[in-house]
Structure 1
């Protein structure tokens, strides 16, 4: 048995031991015995309601009043019953119901009927689920419900009687106590940081918290200092984490100011660091790059968050602690993943996308990663995390990371990354000619004796992107070994082979055109799928360069702009909208390639 296999086995058993230990502690701190303990710490009143930055849709209020709840793609009609009485409904639907995010839609309706409906549903939850519910008391759901109840408490409590006021605050305090008791057993990363935010928000929003408030602020400081890296990134390396954290952190900071309290130093520093990095990940159209779990961008929420940015400076050029590089020239932007996988306990949503890149010109995203699906589907999740779903190179259709398989512990532990790139060398040059980044990783060294190096240069005017992928042998190579370099195209890009198949023409919706070529290498245009569109899965295409590794240890390629935008007389593009792909399971070709690339067969 190889040392790598032994090391992976050690990591697996370490995860199993941690899982058992956390489950035991959670049962002790938040289980049946804890819930039977008398609860008397009921605050006298609410002092302040932190703002909710997320967008509301008032049109949903009528459906909710009529007993029609559309959550996570599932429509449930309650037929006059409380939704909290229903059984055997999809778990994702229940999570959205119990999180109470839909309260903002009722509040947006701004009517007496909406307020009465909100009170009735909150009272139903307290009646049916206030003591316990297998989904309603999951830590992330408790966190979201606390933050939502606090933010919308003026709306819920307006015109309500004193009796409801008391049971509402008592239930809120009970949930905060549960979260306080179980925070150390919540999943590390964003989930634990959100729990600390919810506890701190509750303690400064409710009267008479005193000692609890000081403890909660200290714990929030600790989590922010530990999880927010010096360059502003999150330890999970997921750009989405920045949006989710700032959306809750900014209202808590405002609540401190409104209460006349000193804003903790870690909170100030974290906001100041995260704001520039969120801009770092943005393309010209405002969307964030699809790295390590980032799906579709909530553009309205990002715009709201950026309105709180006091500095309003240019994004940084690199994020060395988070493991990303940004090249910019003219209207073009290239974002590159140059970091290792996060710690195993934080890698449940991380991707095998080392040295993958995304490329945009103006408001057009050209080269992308496939992103993540909004559908709750384990097959799509597996596909999206593979190297084949990223714009980078793979060896023998194998991912650069090895994930925990479903058996024997995957159903308990998820699919964290057991091994992957660890040694990543990076050099960067910025001069009058443009930006250049050279990076290499050892993700294929153990199994294939190969180091992958990628050399990217973007011209100063942004009209040319040159790349060289080099496969350096560290030992003898298998003569049958194949490399595959993929460039996934955004669905809005129309691609066609030209020059007898030696080049590709890429046309944007407004007529801007680019050519792609790889001298001396056969170019293929194949089907792909874009998972992160706000409207669902979209058919797309990918440029594929493949061949024997020994025959082409170095592959050069280039994107070059050949035409600027040409709008029609209407001022808009004449290109058709991309086709939606309403599929629950991947197309045969895509799933076979990407699932094979995931390389998560059970360990011996």
Structure 2
């Protein structure tokens, strides 16, 4: 890195114009929106427009807003055309100022993921960017673009554990096909791309982060690269094809009836139309996977009811702070109405006071002991059985064994008509620790507790009225919901108690009609 700061290295990058520049297929709108969703950052760029912010005030920190600014992802939120010369002129002025400040290597601005993203967008939009531009702008723009591409092909990717490394791969591949000077690097570039696909995409199609929104972003990148290779009549790499074929069913599995994502792995709901667009572009026509055993999710679907369950498998260490706390949590929806949810652990602003609380197990619809979050799971047992249309899943983890000497098992059952959803939480071991079972209720659902305090009525805005029953009394307490990345106040059902010797068993159910006792 010290070498990259030197004048000699800057001189090696050169100031020559690229000899030829191939036209690349336009990046589809869903591409950048999927990247925004994975970072939960689109709303940050709507006001104020980055074109109105001088570059000297652009932050240099590893935050979604800063990455999006310097990666020029936000340009896709604007419409550049011959009839909008004023907007084009503003963008050209913006890029000229950026070149003035950052044309030489910088540890953050020239980081491989930002470099790849910026190169990709500049290349795909270069005709629109240079529309009615002066010769001086064109020369500076293409020289700077070529310098960045040359460095990206020369340097190693900094963090291949993060999904952002695929933005670096995207920029490398785009520049390898755009500039004839890098044509010989195509084979090596695609080889490294394949290796990271195999590293990040699990056999069941989940991403190592366990986040559905990151899986969607990765699917969008892979689809875009596939279409580029087809455009240039290249043979499609096996890992690329397999990655798309595996990712699409997983993305579909983590969706509720409203089309949005369940709140696991740092994901937010997302936009149903966007998810549909990416899945359609994948050209796989996938069926949702029901048991993602490598990623640790089960999808229970019967009638109009969907339950998505986290069996407790931990993600890779790089992502552990966003997904480990949700062990044995579930979400429940009926039709387009969400009933039981998680709080979500992604806010639009990283500085919010809620961020620390949202990483705790208490922010999920699961059981906790002594209000301690799940952080280390050493062993997980997961079983799934379906019989005559009914769904049954059971998972056990040992996250509390070292401190309390107990294992926790959650069993879920969904009837074939989707009207009866039952659960059983069993704690095995000798401990008297206090426990809380939380069921966070979606803010669009009204709750009415009956006198016995073992039953409540749940009324969503649309669809069936549901009934909650538990063998133990419960309370209705305040909760929060960040399904869109912004705070919404809501309520939760909380079952409190203390463990008993050897085994503690708590049964509960959600139903739409009278059914046998639990």
TM over 0.5: yes
Task: Give the equivalent residue in structure 2 for 1:491.
Answer: 443
The Cα offsets for residues 40-82 of structure 1, whole Å up to 9 and x where unpaired, read as: 475323213343333699xxxxxxxxxxx99458748998xx7
Q: Is 1:46 aligned to residue 21 of structure 2?
A: yes
Contact 2:392/2:411 (8 A) holds in 1: yes
2:482 to 516, 522, 531: 531
Distance 1:322 1:142 in 2: 30
**By how many angstroms is 1:546 displaced?**
1.1
Distance 2:150 2:322 in 1: 29
Task: Give the equivalent residue in structure 1 for 2:380.
Answer: 424
Q: Is 1:516 aligned to residue 494 of structure 2?
A: no
The Cα offsets for residues 215-244 of structure 1, whole Å up to 9 and x where unpaired, read as: 111110111122111111111212121111
Q: Is 1:318 aligned to residue 318 of structure 2?
A: no
1:92/1:277 Cα in 2 relative to 1: closer, same or farther (>3 Å)?
closer
Superposed counterparts of 1:568-583, under 5 Å: none
Contact 2:300/2:306 (8 A) holds in 1: yes
The Cα offsets for residues 173-196 of structure 1, whole Å up to 9 and x where unpaired, read as: 322333344444225130223322
Contact 1:284/1:360 (8 A) holds in 2: yes
1:383/1:39 Cα in 2 relative to 1: closer, same or farther (>3 Å)?
same
Distance 2:197 2:349 in 1: 30
- Structure 1: segments with no counterpart, 5+ residues: 1-26, 58-68, 402-419, 564-604
1:543 to 493, 498, 505: 493
Task: Give the equivalent residue in structure 2 for 1:158.
Answer: 131
Distance 1:70 1:330 in 2: 35
Distance 2:43 2:293 in 1: 42
Q: Is 1:85 aligned to residue 60 of structure 2?
A: no
Distance 2:158 2:65 in 1: 24
1:307/1:87 Cα in 2 relative to 1: closer, same or farther (>3 Å)?
closer
Distance 1:185 1:34 in 2: 22
Distance 1:76 1:313 in 2: 37
SS of match in other structure, 1:501: coil
Distance 2:237 2:136 in 1: 36
SS of match in other structure, 1:127: helix
Q: Is 1:459 aligned to residue 405 of structure 2?
A: no
Task: Give the equivalent residue in structure 1 for 2:347.
Answer: 373
Q: Is 1:387 aligned to residue 361 of structure 2?
A: yes
Q: Is 1:330 aligned to residue 303 of structure 2?
A: yes
The 10-residue stretch of structure 1 (127-136 or 484-493) with the greater mean CA deviation from structure 2:
127-136
Superposed counterparts of 1:439-458, under 5 Å: 439-458=395-414
Contact 2:211/2:266 (8 A) holds in 1: yes
Distance 2:403 2:490 in 1: 31
Task: Give the equivalent residue in structure 1 for 2:35.
Answer: none
- Structure 2: segments with no counterpart, 5+ residues: 33-41
Task: Give the equivalent residue in structure 2 for 1:97.
Answer: 69
SS of match in other structure, 2:324: coil
Distance 1:554 1:507 in 2: 28
SS of match in other structure, 2:326: coil
Distance 2:78 2:48 in 1: 18
Distance 2:59 2:208 in 1: 36
Distance 2:317 2:234 in 1: 37
SS of match in other structure, 2:461: coil
Task: Give the equivalent residue in structure 2 for 1:482.
Answer: 434
Distance 2:342 2:96 in 1: 44
The Cα offsets for residues 246-290 of structure 1, whole Å up to 9 and x where unpaired, read as: 222222211111111122221111111111111011110011111
1:270/1:42 Cα in 2 relative to 1: closer, same or farther (>3 Å)?
farther
Contact 1:293/1:351 (8 A) holds in 2: no
Superposed counterparts of 1:72-471, under 5 Å: 75=48, 83-86=54-57, 93-107=65-79, 111-133=84-106, 135-186=108-159, 188-371=161-344, 372-377=346-351, 379-401=353-375, 420-432=376-388, 434-471=390-427
**By how many angstroms is 1:320 displaced?**
1.2
| Aligned positions, number | 500
1:30/1:490 Cα in 2 relative to 1: closer, same or farther (>3 Å)?
farther
Distance 1:257 1:287 in 2: 30
Distance 2:247 2:256 in 1: 17
Distance 2:382 2:169 in 1: 35
Distance 2:109 2:488 in 1: 33
SS of match in other structure, 1:505: strand
Distance 1:540 1:501 in 2: 19
1:204/1:29 Cα in 2 relative to 1: closer, same or farther (>3 Å)?
farther
**By how many angstroms is 1:213 displaced?**
1.6
Distance 2:160 2:181 in 1: 29
Distance 1:107 1:492 in 2: 35
The 10-residue stretch of structure 1 (290-299 or 154-163) with the greater mean CA deviation from structure 2:
154-163
Distance 2:228 2:251 in 1: 23
1:447/1:361 Cα in 2 relative to 1: closer, same or farther (>3 Å)?
same
Distance 1:451 1:162 in 2: 70
Give the aligned CA root-mean-square deviation in angstroms.
2.7
Contact 2:117/2:170 (8 A) holds in 1: no
